[in-house]
């Protein structure tokens, strides 16, 4: 989960939201949304413990056509777009200390990750665990340093009338898409369910505990950013964490922190390569015309699926339009997870019960559906181009499905 979004999207949010309370409320609401979704996915994942995520849930509940569209969204947007975004953000941070342009740094990182994940499952696993540990330590360091920062920015975190007014504006809902993207990955355990031991216990545990921990870290980290950098300097800036690090640690410390954050971006890309290739493998394995791409190496690595996913990523990376790709990815992903929550509601109404029950059902499912639907409606009005791009992605998926049949 932890990666590009939390270190980059605050600069897009402050363009329309200027009070500390409203900005932190964005991250708290995003965490609530992710927790409700994680509670629902824990039941879906335990009931259908096969790799593939929405592809499996929608196919089993509704029809293979809807499942294919869900998988197609995951393949093209759910993983390729986040990897591309992380690659763009990596380029922003890495170009500070590497003799490469932003695009060159992005391409080098993605190629290196492809080689790691295509080489060995064990190597990919240990790489991911190591980088994730570094991410958590980095965030803890930021938060501790902000607490002791001697020259804090004056910003109000109280729920004033102005702050509540900002939360009622359409741009607040659009910003929530950026935040939802930052939380994306809360459902990743479902994508690799076929490779998880004791899925009935470990999928709910991974989803709920992981999401709760990240919610706390995200709210505190954004508090740290707002406490150390004036809002005016954050407006439309991608390198938010680098600005904060320079304020806290000075120019040299800021450059060192940029290097660490660049490594974090690599970890984010690595996580999406790991999960996304399993979704790709599950989709192509069910199609006779594409089954050749589902082959695994003797060590269990879906190498051809990894290469297919990286090819899509490079196509998006070359656009280099961070906000456009972010809005498009956030909108389309939110639509896919909303359909999965609807699938849970339909399964319950049909009397289908899995080995794990959703905590707080039906409230958790209804809260997710209401907030998600409200956000998507505003994005359609405020960002029609991103919405149309999402619809076009679904249309292309439908055409491919018909062709494969």
pLDDT on residue 266: 80
**Host H or E run for residue 374:** helix 363-382
pLDDT, tens only, 221-245: 889 888 888 888 887 777 787 788 8
What are the residue ranges of helices labelled H in 148-239? Answer: 161-167, 170-183, 188-191, 199-228, 231-234
Q: What is the DSSP secondary structure assignment for residue 98, as one 8-state letter?
A: S
Both tokens of 403, joined, read 């062709």
Is pLDDT above 70 for 293? no
Q: What is the pLDDT of residue 319?
A: 61
Give the number of residues written for the chain. 405
Run of H or E residues at 114: helix 102-119
Query: Which alpha helices (H) appear in 229-321, and where do they start and end?
Result: 231-234, 240-285, 303-317
Contact 284, 291 (CB under 8 A): yes
Q: Which of 217, 271, 255, 149 is nearest to 7 (CA)?
A: 217
CA within 13 Å, CB half, 231: 15
Task: Specify the higher pLDDT residue, 128 or 400.
Answer: 400
Q: What is the pLDDT of residue 346?
A: 92
pLDDT band at 357 (very low <50, low <70, confident <90, very high): confident
Output the six-digit token pair for 278.
């399993």
User: Is residue 29 packed enough to be buried (19+ CB in 10 Å), middle (13-18) or exposed (0-12)?
Assistant: middle
Helices then strands, counting H and E runs in the chain, come out as 18, 0
Cα 86 to Cα 276, 355, 397, distances in angstroms: 14, 36, 24
Residues with Cβ within 8 Å of residue 176, at least 6 apart in sequence: 26, 29, 30, 371, 375
What mean pLDDT value characterizes the chain?
Answer: 80
Judged by DSSP in three states, 193 sits in: helix
Maximal CA-CA distance, the chain: 64
- Does position 366 have pLDDT exceeding 90, yes or no? yes
How big, in percent rounded to 5, are the helix, strand and coil portions of the chain? 80, 0, 20
Q: How confident is the model over 22-51, as a mean pLDDT?
A: 86
Least confident of 20-29, 58-67, 72-81, 138-147: 72-81
Looking at residues 192-203, what average pLDDT do you find? 75
What pLDDT, in 10s, does the model give residues 148-186? Answer: 888 888 777 888 888 888 888 878 887 887 888 788 778
Give mean pLDDT, residues 341-363. 87
Torsion sign (Cα): 254, 256, 257, 262 = positive
Ramachandran angles phi, psi of 153, nearest 5°:
-75, 140
Residue 314's closest CA among 108, 119, 78, 116? 108
Domain 4-404 sits in CATH at: 1.20.1740.10
The pLDDT, as a whole number, for residue 193 is 67
Question: Is the model's pLDDT at 281 over the cut of 90?
Answer: no
Is the bond leading into 5 cis (omega within 30 degrees of zero)? no
pLDDT of residue 294: 66
Per residue in 300-329, pLDDT (tens digit) is 777 777 777 777 777 777 765 666 667 777
DSSP secondary structure, 355-368, as one string: SSPPTTTTHHHHHH
Q: How many Cα atoms are found within 13 Å in the side-chain-facing hemisphere of 261? A: 34
In this structure, the number of other CB atoms found within 10 A of the CB of residue 99 comes to 7
pLDDT in tens, 76-111: 777 777 777 777 778 777 777 777 777 788 888 888
pLDDT surpasses 70 at 4: no
Going from the C-alpha of 287 to that of each of 35, 53, 122, 218, 356, the distances in angstroms are: 33, 17, 28, 40, 30
- In this predicted structure, the answer to whether residue 56 has a pLDDT above a threshold of 70 is yes
Could you give the dihedral angle defined by the CA atoms of residues 90, 96, 100 and 101, in that order, rounded to the nearest 10 degrees? 70
Lowest mean pLDDT: which of 106-120, 192-206, 250-264, 309-323? 309-323
> Regarding predicted confidence, which is higher, 199 or 247?
247
Of 312, 297, 263, nearest to 121 by C-alpha is 297
């Amino acid at each position: 989960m932890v990666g590009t979004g939390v270190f980059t999207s605050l600069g897009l949010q402050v363009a329309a939201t200027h009070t500390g309370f409203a900005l932190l409320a964005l991250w708290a609401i995003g965490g609530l949304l992710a927790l409700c979704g994680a509670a629902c996915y824990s039941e879906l994942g335990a009931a259908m413990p096969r790799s593939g995520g929405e592809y499996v849930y929608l196919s089993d509940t509704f029809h293979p056509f809807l499942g294919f569209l869900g998988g197609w969204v995951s393949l093209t947007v759910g993983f390729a777009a986040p990897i591309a975004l992380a690659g763009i953000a990596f380029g922003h941070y890495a170009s500070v200390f590497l003799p490469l342009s932003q695009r060159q740094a992005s391409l080098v990182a993605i190629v290196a990750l492809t080689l790691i994940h295509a080489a060995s499952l064990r190597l990919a696993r240990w790489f991911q665990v190591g980088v994730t540990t570094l991410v958590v330590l980095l965030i803890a360091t930021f938060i501790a340093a902000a607490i002791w920062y001697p020259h804090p920015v004056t910003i109000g975190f109280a729920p004033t009338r102005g702050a509540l007014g900002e939360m009622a504006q359409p741009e607040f809902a659009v910003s929530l898409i950026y935040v939802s993207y930052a939380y994306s990955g809360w459902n990743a355990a479902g994508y690799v369910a076929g490779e998880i031991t004791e899925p009935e216990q470990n999928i709910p545990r991974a989803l709920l505990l992981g999401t709760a921990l990240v919610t706390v870290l995200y709210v505190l980290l954004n508090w740290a950013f707002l406490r150390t950098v004036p809002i005016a300097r954050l407006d439309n800036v991608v390198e938010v964490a680098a600005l904060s690090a320079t304020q806290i640690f000075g120019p040299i410390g800021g450059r060192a922190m940029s290097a660490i954050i660049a490594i974090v971006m690599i970890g984010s890309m690595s996580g999406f390569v790991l999960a996304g290739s399993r979704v790709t493998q599950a989709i192509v394995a069910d199609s006779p015309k594409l089954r050749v791409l589902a082959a695994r190496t003797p060590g269990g690595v879906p190498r051809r699926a990894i290469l297919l996913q990286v090819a899509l990523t490079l196509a998006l990376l070359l656009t280099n339009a961070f906000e456009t790709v972010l809005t498009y990815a956030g909108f389309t992903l939110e639509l896919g997870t909303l359909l999965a929550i609807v699938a849970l509601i339909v399964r319950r109404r049909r009397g289908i019960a899995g080995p794990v029950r959703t905590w707080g059902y039906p409230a958790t499912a209804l809260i997710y559906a209401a907030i998600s639907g409200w956000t998507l409606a505003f994005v359609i009005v405020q960002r029609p181009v991103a919405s149309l791009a999402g619809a076009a992605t679904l249309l292309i998926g439908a055409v491919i499905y018909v062709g494969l049949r």
